[in-house]
């Protein structure tokens, strides 16, 4: 059985007047480590972006001035090629060979960012053809309907971030139970090489059933879209925990200041009451007959 696979070789950011920012990858396991806020999560985001994820990339300060991203990939057979994409998203251009710092002025092939099984000029079909998975179909739901395999449907198994790692659920689930049949079918395909092309959808459904099925499909897609938006807005768990820790420290400091202020207020208020009730504050004096009485403080 012939083995097929892809290896990442490099991820590079380039821009006018900027030195290329490159991270290289070797065969086998690659470990990226470092302190918080050092860009580890951004590297994962950038790889996902270069595998068809929607843009634009996160606008971090270190990205200012860089307008293109290069992703070098090698097949197990040894073929190499480089994808180039704007940091704002959109279509790709692919060149033969590995290009780390300079993009050829001419040549290359433009690839659309959206999957189209009827055409070969898109990123998804191009990559799937390199691993012998083009034109495959997988089960979409429990009714037996199928859908085309795309590189984006594989992405959650190719790129696993820290948020997914700590989730207490099966790796075949992404939190959207309606998508579990498709996730399971894709995993089965990767293990066995057998897709669901032979699966026949339940026939003879009434118009009402077809309408409900279409509505369910739409709702499933909306749920997936909103889940992706929530993840994007929330940010990585490590960053959220760091922000929460900073907020806790700030609140504790403000609480201590407030406690000190309240103690000082109570002390001063007590002294005022003592002065008001003491003879030292209002002391009557005697006056001669016919004169006006006075008080001294």
Please report the DSSP string for 36-105 in residue order: TTSSHHHHHHHHHHHTT--SPPP--GGGTT--EEEEEEEETTS-EEEEEEETT---EEEEES--SS---S
Examine residue 97 and state whether it is found in any structural domain, yes or no. Answer: yes
Examine residue 7 and state whether it is found in any structural domain, yes or no. Answer: yes
Q: Is the pLDDT of residue 230 over 80?
A: no
Taking residues 154-162, report their average pLDDT. 83
Among 132, 153, 185, the domain boundary falls at 132
- Show the tokens assigned to 129: 């053809």
Taking residues 207-214, report their average pLDDT. 69
Taking residues 127-136, report their average pLDDT. 91
Taking residues 263-288, report their average pLDDT. 71
Q: Is the pLDDT of residue 17 over 50?
A: yes
What's the confidence (pLDDT) of residue 295?
46
What's the confidence (pLDDT) of residue 234?
64
Examine residue 293 and state whether it is found in any structural domain, yes or no. Answer: no
Examine residue 214 and state whether it is found in any structural domain, yes or no. Answer: no
Examine residue 85 and state whether it is found in any structural domain, yes or no. Answer: yes
Q: Is the pLDDT of residue 274 over 60?
A: yes
Average pLDDT of every residue of the chain: 83
Q: Distance between CA atoms of 45 and 58, rounded to whole angstroms?
A: 8
Examine residue 119 and state whether it is found in any structural domain, yes or no. Answer: yes
What's the confidence (pLDDT) of residue 52?
92
Among 77, 105, 132, the domain boundary falls at 132
Examine residue 192 and state whether it is found in any structural domain, yes or no. Answer: no
Taking residues 117-130, report their average pLDDT. 91
Q: Is the dihedral of CA 114, 117, 118, 122 positive or negative?
A: positive
What's the confidence (pLDDT) of residue 201?
66
pLDDT band at 177 (very low <50, low <70, confident <90, very high): confident
Q: Which residues constitute the domain of residue 69?
A: 1-132
Q: Out of 7-11, 68-72, 107-111, 215-219, which region has the weakest mean confidence (pLDDT)?
A: 215-219
Examine residue 175 and state whether it is found in any structural domain, yes or no. Answer: no
pLDDT band at 220 (very low <50, low <70, confident <90, very high): confident
Report helix, strand or coil for 110. strand
Taking residues 35-53, report their average pLDDT. 89
Asked if 93 and 112 count as a contact pair (C-beta separation under 8 A), the reply is no
Among 132, 152, 181, the domain boundary falls at 132
Taking residues 192-218, report their average pLDDT. 73
What's the confidence (pLDDT) of residue 241?
75
Higher pLDDT, 94 or 154: 94
- Number of domains observed in the structure of the chain: 2
């Amino acid at each position: 059985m012939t083995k097929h696979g892809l290896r990442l070789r490099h991820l590079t950011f380039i821009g006018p007047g900027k030195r290329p920012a490159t991270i290289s990858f070797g065969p086998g396991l690659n470990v990226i480590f470092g302190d918080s806020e050092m860009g580890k999560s951004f590297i994962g985001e950038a790889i996902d972006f270069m595998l068809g994820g929607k843009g634009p990339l996160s606008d971090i300060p270190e990205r200012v001035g860089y307008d293109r991203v290069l992703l070098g990939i090698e097949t197990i057979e040894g073929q190499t090629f480089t994808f180039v994409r704007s940091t704002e998203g959109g279509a790709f251009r692919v060149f033969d060979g590995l290009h780390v710092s300079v993009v050829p002025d001419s040549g290359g092939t433009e690839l659309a960012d959206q999957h189209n099984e009827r055409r070969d000029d898109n990123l998804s079909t191009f990559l799937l053809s390199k691993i012998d998975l083009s034109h495959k179909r997988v089960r979409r739901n429990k009714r037996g309907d199928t859908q085309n395999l795309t590189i984006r449907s594989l992405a959650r198994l190719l790129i696993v971030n820290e948020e997914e790692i700590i989730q207490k659920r099966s790796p075949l689930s992404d939190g959207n139970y309606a998508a579990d049949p498709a996730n399971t079918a894709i995993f089965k395909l990767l293990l066995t090489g057998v897709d669901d092309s032979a699966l026949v959808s339940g026939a003879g459904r009434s118009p009402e059933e077809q309408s409900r099925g279409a509505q369910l499909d739409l709702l499933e897609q909306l749920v997936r879209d909103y889940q992706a938006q929530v993840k994007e807005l929330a940010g990585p768990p490590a960053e959220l925990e760091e922000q929460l820790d900073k907020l806790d420290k700030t609140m504790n400091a403000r609480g201590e200041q407030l406690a000190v202020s309240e103690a000082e207020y109570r002390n001063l208020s007590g002294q005022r009451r003592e002065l008001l009730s003491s003879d030292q504050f209002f002391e009557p004096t005697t006056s001669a007959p016919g004169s006006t009485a006075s008080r001294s403080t």
